[in-house]
Amino acid sequence: MSWRSIFISNPAYLNLKQGSLQIAQAIETQSVIAKIPLEDISVILIENTGVTLSAKLLSACADKQILVITVGEDYHPNGIFLPYLPHSRALKIMRAQIKQSLVKKKQLWKTIITQKIVNQAAVLTSFGHNTVAQRLKILATAVRSGDAKNSEAVASQLYFRTLWGRDFSRSNTISIVNAALNYGYAVIRAAIARALCTYGFLPAFGIFHHNELNAFNLADDLIEPYRPFVDLHVVDQYTKVRENEAQLTTQNKAALVNLLHQDIRLTQHEGNGACTLLAGIEATVISLSQWVLSSKVKNVRLVMPCVTQVVTYKQTVHE
């Protein structure tokens, strides 16, 4: 399993040499500052518009299923390069995905939202908000098919205001907390999109989300129980930062990318079982493929993440 995230924040030339990513600080001099085996890399995030990549490297990234993420003028992820490696049963998966009944999709959405709220409650408990955490646990047990009572919205309002105060709003565009949350969510969403394409899904066809302008509705469905891992990191790192007084640094962003390599537990794990968040996403998508191919609602359970103590793995930052 690949274990490195590469974060490029300054102009550089990226090329492939002897099966490794070669990073040169200047195209003219080709002065190599780093060489990293592709087999070690899971994600390359390019934050600087002065970075040049060779077609040979991009082709190799597709072969190795390495996720390449670009950012826009606001320095937030705006694009992903996905591998075009058809799954052996891609057509079968796509046909089954499209034919899913509304009843099955509503039941799956209930399962996803229930786990999201359970994970939010675990985050609150981690920071001593036990009373509100208990309210969320009760809400989680009351989620209806298709989340008919909109328990997700009720839980989220309680959750965010408990973590960051009554005046906190997710719509505040100059909040460093929101900037960090959005950045982390975008990275995980990109990783989910990569896994969906790898396993033969049509990511535009969602379970609950169905925006015609969104090519990744299914990724937006599956990200829900993974969001609390970003929240946990942001609360831990930004509680002492006053709103509107700071911006995300290169190290801040690299740490958010590195969330993909944290150790997490899944609903299928027993005892001390664990895997990286990136491996967890793959397990979720594999279980989703089993779910779409199953004829009965209760035959397959979606594998989802559980918020517990997490451990950070190595990241590589090139400035």
Buried b (16+ CB within 10 A) or exposed e, 24-36: beeeeeeeeeeeb
Least confident of 17-31, 145-159, 188-202, 305-319: 305-319
As to burial, measured by CB atoms within 10 angstroms (0-12 exposed, 13-18 middle, 19+ buried), residue 174 is exposed
Q: What share of the chain is helix, strand, coil (3-state, %, to 5)?
A: 45, 15, 40
90-312, what's its fold? Four Helix Bundle (Hemerythrin (Met), subunit A) (1.20.120)
CATH topology of domain 4-81: Ribosomal Protein L15; Chain: K; domain 2 (3.100.10)
Burial class (CB in 10 A: 0-12, 13-18, 19+), 261: buried
Do 41 and 261 meet the contact criterion of CB atoms below 8 Å apart?
A: no
pLDDT tens-digit map of 177-202: 999 999 999 999 999 999 998 888 99
Averaged pLDDT, 126-144:
96
Q: What is the mean pLDDT of the chain?
A: 88
Q: Which amino acid is at 296?
A: K
Question: 223-237: string of b/e by CB count within 10 Å (b at 16+)?
Answer: bbbbbbbbbbbbbee
CA 45 from centre of chain? 14
- Dihedral sign (CA 299, 302, 307, 312): positive
Beta-strand pair 52-53/13-17: parallel
pTM, to two decimals: 0.87
pLDDT value of position 299: 63
Q: Distance (Å, rounded) from C-alpha 280 to C-alpha 266?
A: 7
Lowest mean pLDDT among 70-84, 95-109, 243-257, 305-319: 305-319
Domains 4-81 and 90-312 share a fold: no
Residue 14's DSSP bridge partners are: 23, 53
Give the residue extent of every domain in the chain: 4-81, 90-312
